[in-house]
């Protein structure tokens, strides 16, 4: 049978002790004996403790006396023993009244008993009854061991602990993001009415999170925080999820159903241990998976996977379907912090989950992201659909919200043979480098819009390109240099407008007659009438080469 307040009062070796308040709590169980001599030490006690004091630090302060009883009652302390005649001739009225109001047993101990004597006597009694307690502790430990051995995850651990202590529980990670939770239908303050219960997001506000120690050594036995929400004040009990002094998260008890007892704290401790092991296991699996994923994409992008069969065997394990056509989008960033990179990854992964039409895998390498996107609705073998372009624009808008004006994007062609996915990734990065040739300056540059620049840049040497330009448009460029004119640009706009003089004139904001005058001058310098299609193609190609050479010399 457990030791109770009633049995302390009846103990033959404690003659003269008497109950002065809180008689409704005489059946409270005593699991430990401790002394209290500091008004700031409440967090070092726990439910089921029987506390002894001389009252010295409280003797001249009625407010401290009242707070003492309130705090101990709130913690579910089994009782308080006060030694009289040393500093108090009698126990203060405010202590008695508060103890009666809160049903906290207060025992008056005679002057001839030292606190050490009482402690030793009660510890002897607790020791005699310890075997039955150990059985109860073992049953708690066995329950969580069984849960872990049967593959119970954090949600199952949370549910088990919550049901055992009969209070709602939230399980948080080390950054205070929600990992799991369990509530009760009869909870008068339901979790869903006080929190946004989104996994991997913070349910509590910054003031709550900032008040919680992040060093395991700073945690007390009974860390309590009060949360003011919707006009109510709710007590939370917090236990760190610790392994080898590293905090992997927190168990937060939403103490709204009943006050925690001694065994409840043992339950929470066991839950925290099981959660720590589960977090370590999950972390190790994630690290292994991340390492394998990194190795796969490194090998893929470095051209080390040469066999189509090997690629088809490996790709599905990393979320890619090699039987489907794909496009690669590259997003290059400027001066991006690790925190911004993590936020972009998280944001894009959420967008991926929200849009199953275009599933993709994303990797972060150096100063850019690569998105390997499955395409299922294209009607052409090379061109993406309007819906697909809208989807990509949505993704880039999310990136821009995090790092505004500090990124560029390029999109490859569609590849139907997955063995060419590496080439598609390289194309996407090339498109970014060539994107400033796009006069429209759109947020996303597409390979099919810049293919001519890519072909020239990858197949023709610089000297050859320069010689071709000098032979075709060299005289026009020389005239511009000598006369500070803009005839080369005028010719470019003429071709871009489909040789429509009125449209071309509007684009460079001059009168049609002025544009005709420039065009005549161009014909004179180049000795052409601009009527020969083959000749005009050479001029357009030379303009592209000129822009490409300018980029390389910049």
Q: Is the sign of the CA dihedral 85, 88, 90, 95 positive or negative?
A: negative
- The per-residue pLDDT for range 102-139, each reduced to its tens digit, is 999 999 998 888 899 999 889 888 877 666 666 777 88
Per-residue model confidence (pLDDT) at position 453: 54
Per-residue model confidence (pLDDT) at position 240: 92
- The per-residue pLDDT for range 271-330, each reduced to its tens digit, is 999 999 888 888 888 888 888 888 998 888 888 888 888 888 999 989 899 888 899 999
Q: Which fold has domain 460-553?
A: Arc Repressor Mutant, subunit A (1.10.10)
Residue 158's CB: how many other CB atoms inside 10 A?
23
Q: What angle do CA 517, 520, 523 make, to 5 degrees?
A: 155
Q: Report the candidate in 330, 348, 543 with the shortest Cα–Cα distance to residue 446.
A: 330
Alpha-carbon Rg for the chain, nearest whole angstrom, is 38
Per-residue pLDDT band at 163 (split at 50, 70, 90): very high
Per-residue model confidence (pLDDT) at position 462: 67
Residue 91's CB: how many other CB atoms inside 10 A?
19
If one compares 271 and 383, the residue with the highest pLDDT of the two is 271
Per the prediction, the chain carries an average pLDDT of: 86
Per-residue model confidence (pLDDT) at position 439: 54
**77-97 mean pLDDT:** 91
Per-residue model confidence (pLDDT) at position 466: 73
Per-residue model confidence (pLDDT) at position 436: 64
Q: Per 3-state DSSP, what percentage of the chain is helix, strand, and coil (rounded to 5)?
A: 50, 15, 30
Tell which CATH architecture fits domain 5-128: 3-Layer(aba) Sandwich (3.40)
Per-residue model confidence (pLDDT) at position 541: 77
- The per-residue pLDDT for range 25-84, each reduced to its tens digit, is 999 989 889 998 887 788 788 888 999 999 888 888 999 999 999 999 988 899 999 998
CA–CA distances in Å: residue 403 to residues 169, 237, 341, 361, 440:
37, 39, 9, 21, 22
- The per-residue pLDDT for range 387-445, each reduced to its tens digit, is 888 899 999 999 999 999 899 898 888 888 888 888 888 888 888 877 665 555 667 88
Q: Report the candidate in 101, 109, 22, 23 with the shortest Cα–Cα distance to residue 66.
A: 101
Domain extents in the chain = 5-128, 147-282, 318-455, 460-553
Could you give the count of Cα atoms lying within 13 Å of 392 in the half-sphere of its Cβ? 27
**C-beta separation of 427 from 434 below 8 A:** no
Per-residue model confidence (pLDDT) at position 198: 92
**238-245 mean pLDDT:** 89
Q: Which CATH superfamily is domain 147-282 in?
A: GAF domain (3.30.450.40)
- Is the predicted pLDDT of residue 372 greater than 90, yes or no? yes
Helices first, then strands: H and E counts in the chain: 20, 15
Domain range 318-455, CATH class: alpha beta
CA–CA distances in Å: residue 353 to residues 346, 348, 349, 361, 365:
11, 9, 6, 11, 22
């Amino acid at each position: 049978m457990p030791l109770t307040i009633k049995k302390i009062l009846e103990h033959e070796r404690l003659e003269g002790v008497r109950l002065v308040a809180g008689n409704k709590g005489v059946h409270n169980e005593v699991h430990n004996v401790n002394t209290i001599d500091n008004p700031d030490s409440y967090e070092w006690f726990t439910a089921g403790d029987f506390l002894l004091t001389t009252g010295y630090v409280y003797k001249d302060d009625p407010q401290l006396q009242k707070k003492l009883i309130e705090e101990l009652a709130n913690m579910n302390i089994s009782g308080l023993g006060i030694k009289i005649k040393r500093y108090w001739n009698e126990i203060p009225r405010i202590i008695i009244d508060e103890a009666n109001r809160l049903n906290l047993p207060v025992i008056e101990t005679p002057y001839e008993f030292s606190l050490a004597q009482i402690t030793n006597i009660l510890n002897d009694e607790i020791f005699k009854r310890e075997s039955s307690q150990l059985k109860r502790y073992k049953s708690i430990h066995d329950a969580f061991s069984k849960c872990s051995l049967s593959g119970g995850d954090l949600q199952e651990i949370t549910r088990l602990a919550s049901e055992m202590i009969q209070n709602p529980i939230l399980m948080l990670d080390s950054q205070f993001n929600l990992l799991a939770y369990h509530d009760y239908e009869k909870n008068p303050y339901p979790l869903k009415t006080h929190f946004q219960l989104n996994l991997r997001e913070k349910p509590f506000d910054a003031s709550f999170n900032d008040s919680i120690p992040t060093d395991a050594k700073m945690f007390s036995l009974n860390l309590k925080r009060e949360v003011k929400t919707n006009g109510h004040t709710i007590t939370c009990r917090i236990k760190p999820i610790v392994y080898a002094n590293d905090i992997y998260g927190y168990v937060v008890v939403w103490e709204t159903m009943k006050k925690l007892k001694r065994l409840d704290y043992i339950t929470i401790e066991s839950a925290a241990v099981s959660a720590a092991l589960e977090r370590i296991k999950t972390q190790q699996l994630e690290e292994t998976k991340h390492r394998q994923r990194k190795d796969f994409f490194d090998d893929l992008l470095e051209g080390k996977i040469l066999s189509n069969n090997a690629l088809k065997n490996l790709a599905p394990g990393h979320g890619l379907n090699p039987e489907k056509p794909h496009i690669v989008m590259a997003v290059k960033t400027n001066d991006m912090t690790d925190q911004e990179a993590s936020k972009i990854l998280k944001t894009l992964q959420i967008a991926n989950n929200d849009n199953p039409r275009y599933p993709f895998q994303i990797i972060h390498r150096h100063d850019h992201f690569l998105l390997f996107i499955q395409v299922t609705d294209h009607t052409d073998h090379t061109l993406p659909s309007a819906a697909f372009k809208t989807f990509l624009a949505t993704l880039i808008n999310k990136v821009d919200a995090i790092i505004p004006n500090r990124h560029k994007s390029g999109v490859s062609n569609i590849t139907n043979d997955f063995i060419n996915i590496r080439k598609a990734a390289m194309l996407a990065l090339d498109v970014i480098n060539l994107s400033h040739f796009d006069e429209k300056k759109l947020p996303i540059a597409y390979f099919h819009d810049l293919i001519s620049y890519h072909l020239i840049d990858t197949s023709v040497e610089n000297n050859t390109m320069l010689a071709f330009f000098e032979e075709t448009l060299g005289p026009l460029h020389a005239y511009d240099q000598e006369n500070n004119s803009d005839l080369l640009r005028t010719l470019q706009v003429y071709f871009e407008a489909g040789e429509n003089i009125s449209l071309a004139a509007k684009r460079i904001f001059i009168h049609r007659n002025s544009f005709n005058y420039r065009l005549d001058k161009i014909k004179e310098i180049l000795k052409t009438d601009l009527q020969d299609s083959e000749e005009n193609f050479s001029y357009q190609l030379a303009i592209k080469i000129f822009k490409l050479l300018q980029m390389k010399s910049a």
